[in-house]
Amino acid sequence: MSSEKSLTQQRILETTVKLMQQKHGKGVRIEEIARAVGISRQAVYLHFPSRADLLMAAGRYIDEQNHLDQRLEEFLQASDGIKSLTSYIDFWGNYIPVIYGPAKALLRASETDRAASAAWDDRMAAMYEGCRCVINCLQREHLLAPNWKEKDAIDIMYGILSISVWEQLTLEKGWTQKQYIDRIKQMMMQTLVSPGKQPDK
């Protein structure tokens, strides 16, 4: 990839994210993005074959700009299932406020916009995969509570860690970020980890 092409792609992605936040995710069109970048509509499509591809790339660009790999390091290096669970909650709980603006814009747009819906599903699939890794680790180490099937445990973890739950508890109910993370950890531990195998407080 040429440096010129890379620079143009970055400008397109930066502009896409900015416009989505400004418009709260509503109706951001290729024409608007192209005009704001100062290129033609056709030039945008040279870099991104479809609007869905562009929005998915914008979601991944947000992660890159916020150093997602570094934020995941503790989780990826977790030595056991319990550490995997707690470090993932630490990671995701602290990451939501960082990405909340563009994520909320994308979520709103996904309700009526197929391209935005595809982009939202793409990012949430990555989050779901993190939950799967945690639950699989608990299961391998015989730590998963016996009343849970793996698939159901992944689903409930994914649901509890949703952005909408964070929004309700912190923005609506006034929980601090520390309270949110500590209480979610406690609830997940009590719910998903076998009694007697939970770490001492």
Would you state the CATH architecture of domain 3-65?
A: Orthogonal Bundle (1.10)
The reported pLDDT for the residue numbered 2 is 47
C-alpha–C-alpha distance, residues 89 and 179, integer Å: 12
Assess whether pLDDT exceeds 60 at residue 71: yes
- The yes-or-no verdict on residue 130 having pLDDT over 50 is yes
Task: Grade residue 22 by pLDDT with cuts at 50, 70 and 90.
Answer: confident
Q: If you average pLDDT over residues 63-80, what whole number do you get?
A: 91
Domains of the chain, residue spans: 3-65, 68-192
Average pLDDT over residues 106-122: 83
Is a pLDDT exceeding 50 seen at residue 1? no
